């Protein structure tokens, strides 16, 4: 019989050796390239994804009749099969058909065919239009390839994976990423925000404290996060970004410049793909060289100065989110005091980007780790920690939600349940009641955004709670619970307390917020803050006025005989005043008229209460009533 060593642990200690703790990896599912990493002997490292030992897997998927190609070969085939080869699919994750390609420049350089009747999600027509695929399915093909390479390198099936997402991904985009992982056969342990992953890769958790900015400009998304480290706890103080901004836009800007220089038009899909690839190669050369040549029916020489000028408007789009993130974190945007600025994403190799970041944050950025690999390495560290094989020192990661979550109230106003920049995982409860008599259910409308009215926020989901016993308005008690899990995904539960009836929903919108909507929502929340509050106060005053008017009229109709002599005219006058004032736009006047009606009807309300008590105890003995009250 073969011999072996027993592993012995002290009481309270884990008896699982690091080598036996499971095969877990971190995956950076990137717009341009994707990577997979693991921790070996306490050090994170990216695994090879091709036979040549390369660490970067191009995030490109080619669909042929009967087969799928992922990675380098698909990238090479993109110029000859542009409509059947999906590049930069991350930009389509969690988006709807009306958001297909974002900006006018993006639409001009998008060669894909889309299904005419797509429903709520984007569908690409591929394999000579014989097949329809969604962004989730395309992403799953990339993840399957990374999974196969990781299992080959680690010698067995994976036990879990951490997948990184932009911090500014909303609920729909996060859910789409998680669905892609499941479709690829992966056990997704956690969705980790990319800036937090970068901080882990830099080992910032080994410092005692500090405030850091993470500037993440990848191929298709931009994130800015302000992280504060205190006693081993990473807290994301604020986050911002643009889910449709990145190095791809640099390529398109160069393509526009080349087309202008050569005085040509490029409408053919294959030629478009060839030009974009040539511009990407030129962009890479311009990182180290003063000029580069792009050839397409002619030769165009692009200098670094030309490039810097072309991409300046794109870089400027990152300015406002950065200043807002600094302000939200309690820092002075004009003189931010930071302990470090971390660069993430391949686009940050560009000298123009690094110079822009240094001017913006007034300090040279950190770039010790390959910006292409830093996120995957951090994801591996987090996976290692979740698997229980990491270092013993505790690292707590506190991320935040990017936009407020709430419910629609009467009159079309929004009641915010969880405000933006709340640390996740998080939860909140709030109790509501019925508005009308004999109401037997609730329609719940979940919203996301910063404005005060429903029409200015984004609808996430609707669900109902039915079957409540009819009763007077205000008697039912509905407790609504919002829970945002560690992946940033929302779960809503509604429970009527007196009956115990319950309904719940996992908010999984089929597509998320566009970058323009996110930017608009935040800017307008500041711009229209005062007018929004006035609108909300007016709506709430009108809703309360309607309730009082209806309740008073119903009471007069049923119990008018209880009025004192001469008691009716003051109430009728107050009713008429409130009905007239309610139609105006002065919420203070409506509140005052409501209070006047309440004052005028106080004696009547007391008489109704006394009459109700008399009828309740009529014919009953005092002892029975006392026992009932006990």
- The C-alpha atoms of residue 626 and residue 624 are separated, in whole angstroms, by 5
Please determine, looking at this structure, whether the domain spanning 247-314 carries the CATH number 2.60.40.1120.
no
| β-sheet bridge partners, residue 443 | 464
- The C-alpha atoms of residue 500 and residue 478 are separated, in whole angstroms, by 10
Is 393 in the active site?
no
Q: What are phi and psi of 125, to 5 degrees?
A: -95, 115
Q: Which of 84, 90, 416, 450 does the annotation list as catalytic?
A: 90
Q: Which of 84, 137, 141, 216 does the annotation list as catalytic?
A: 216
Query: What does the chain come to in residues?
Result: 630
Q: What pLDDT is recorded for position 393? A: 45
205-212 contact pairs (CB < 8 A, 24+) = 205/229, 205/232, 205/234, 205/393, 205/395, 210/339, 210/340, 211/237, 211/329, 211/331, 211/337, 211/338, 211/339, 212/338, 212/339, 212/340, 212/341, 212/342
Pair 44, 38: CB distance under 8 Å? yes
pLDDT (tens digit per residue) in 176-189: 888 888 888 899 98
Q: What is the 3-state secondary structure (H, E, C) of 259-294?
A: HHHHCCCCCCHHHHHHHHHHHHHHHHHCCCCCEEEE
| β-sheet bridge partners, residue 302 | 292
C-alpha distances out from residue 165 to 162, 195, 245, 527, 542, Å:
10, 9, 14, 29, 43
Entry pTM? 0.60
Residue 547, classified by CB atoms within 10 Å of its CB into exposed (0-12), middle (13-18) or buried (19+), is middle
Q: Which listed CATH number (1.20.1270.10, 1.10.3260.10, 2.60.40.420, 3.40.50.1000) goes with 530-613?
A: 1.20.1270.10
Enumerate the CATH 2.60.34.10 domain ranges in the chain, comma separated.
405-514
pLDDT (tens digit per residue) in 463-499: 777 777 887 777 778 888 888 876 667 888 888 887 8
Enumerate the CATH 1.20.1270.10 domain ranges in the chain, comma separated.
530-613
Q: Which of 137, 194, 306, 487 does the annotation list as catalytic?
A: 194
What is the residue whose two structure tokens read 């608009």?
520
Q: Percentages helix, strand, coil for the chain, rounded to the nearest 5?
A: 40, 25, 35
pLDDT (tens digit per residue) in 319-362: 988 998 899 888 888 888 888 898 888 888 889 999 999 999 98
What is the residue whose two structure tokens read 């406002």?
320
Average pLDDT, the chain: 80
CATH superfamily of 405-514: Substrate Binding Domain Of DNAk; Chain A, domain 1 (2.60.34.10)
Is 90 in the active site?
yes
- The C-alpha atoms of residue 305 and residue 298 are separated, in whole angstroms, by 21
Residue 571 CB neighbours (<10 A): 20
pLDDT of residue 380 exceeding 70, the answer is yes
Is 267 in the active site?
no
Instruction: Read off the DSSP letter of residue 115.
Output: -
Query: 570 vs 239, which has greater pLDDT?
Result: 570
Is 179 in the active site?
no
Nearest Cα neighbor of 28 from 37, 39, 17, 18 is 37
Q: What pLDDT is recorded for position 218? A: 81
Q: What angle do CA 100, 74, 307 make, to 5 degrees?
A: 65
Q: What pLDDT is recorded for position 48? A: 92
């Amino acid at each position: 019989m073969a011999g072996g060593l027993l592993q012995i642990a002290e009481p309270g200690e884990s008896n699982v050796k690091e080598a036996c703790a499971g095969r877990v990896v971190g995956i950076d599912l990137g717009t341009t390239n994707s990577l997979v990493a693991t921790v070996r002997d306490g050090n994170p490292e990216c695994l090879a994804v091709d036979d040549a030992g390369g660490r970067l897997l191009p995030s490109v998927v080619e669909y042929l009749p009967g087969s799928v190609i992922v990675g380098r070969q698909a990238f090479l085939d993109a110029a000859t099969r542009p409509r059947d080869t999906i590049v930069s699919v991350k930009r389509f994750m969690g988006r709807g058909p009306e958001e297909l390609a974002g900006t006018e420049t993006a639409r001009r350089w998008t060669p894909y065919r889309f299904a005419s009747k797509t429903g709520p999600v984007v569908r690409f027509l591929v394999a000579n239009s014989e097949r329809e695929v969604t962004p989730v399915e395309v992403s799953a093909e990339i993840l399957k390839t990374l999974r196969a390479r990781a299992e080959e390198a680690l010698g067995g099936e994976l036990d879990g994976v951490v997948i990184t997402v932009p911090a500014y991904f909303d609920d729909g985009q996060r859910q789409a990423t998680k669905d892609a992982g499941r479709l690829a056969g992966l056990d997704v342990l956690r969705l980790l925000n990319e800036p937090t992953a970068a901080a882990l890769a830099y080992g910032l958790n080994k410092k005692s404290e500090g405030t850091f900015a993470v500037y993440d400009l990848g191929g298709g998304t931009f994130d800015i996060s302000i992280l504060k480290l205190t006693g081993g706890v990473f807290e994301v103080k604020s986050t911002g970004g643009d889910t449709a901004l990145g190095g791809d836009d640099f390529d398109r800007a160069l393509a526009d410049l080349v087309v202008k220089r050569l005085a040509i038009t490029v409408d053919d899909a294959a030629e478009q793909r060839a030009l974009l690839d040539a511009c990407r190669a030129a962009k890479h050369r311009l990182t180290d060289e003063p000029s580069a040549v792009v050839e397409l029916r002619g030769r165009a020489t692009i200098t670094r100065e030309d490039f810097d000028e072309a991409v300046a408007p794109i870089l400027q789009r990152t300015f406002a989110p950065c200043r807002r993130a600094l302000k939200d974190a309690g820092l002075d945007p004009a003189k931010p005091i930071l302990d470090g600025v971390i660069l993430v994403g391949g686009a940050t190799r560009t000298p123009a980007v690094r110079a822009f970041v240094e001017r913006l944050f007034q300090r040279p950025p950190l770039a010790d780790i390959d910006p292409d690999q830093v996120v995957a390495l951090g994801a591996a560290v987090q996976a290692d920690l979740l698997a229980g094989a990491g270092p013993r020192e505790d690292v707590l990661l506190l991320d935040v939600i990017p936009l407020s979550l709430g419910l629609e109230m009467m009159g079309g106003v929004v009641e915010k349940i969880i405000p933006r920049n709340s640390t996740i995982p998080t939860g909140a409860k709030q109790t509501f009641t019925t508005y009308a008599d004999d109401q037997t259910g609730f329609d719940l409308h979940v919203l996301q955004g910063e404005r005060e009215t429903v029409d200015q926020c984004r609808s996430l989901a609707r669900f109902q709670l039915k079957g409540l016993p009819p009763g007077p308005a205000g008697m039912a008690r509905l407790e609504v619970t919002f829970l945002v899990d560690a992946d940033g995904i929302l779960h809503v539960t509604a429970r009527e307390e007196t009956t115990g009836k319950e309904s719940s929903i996992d908010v999984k919108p089929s597509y998320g917020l566009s970058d323009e909507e996110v930017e608009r929502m935040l800017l307008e929340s500041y711009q229209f803050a005062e007018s929004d509050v006035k609108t909300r106060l007016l709506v709430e005053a009108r809703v309360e006025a309607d309730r009082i008017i209806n309740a008073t009229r119903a009471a007069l109709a049923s119990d008018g005989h209880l009025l004192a002599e001469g008691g009716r005219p003051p109430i009728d006058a107050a009713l008429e005043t409130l009905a007239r004032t309610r139609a105006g736009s002065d919420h203070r006047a409506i509140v005052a008229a409501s209070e006047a009606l309440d004052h005028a009807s106080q004696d009547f309300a007391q008489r109704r209460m006394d009459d109700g008590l008399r009828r309740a105890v009529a014919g009953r003995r005092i002892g029975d009533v006392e026992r009932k009250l006990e």
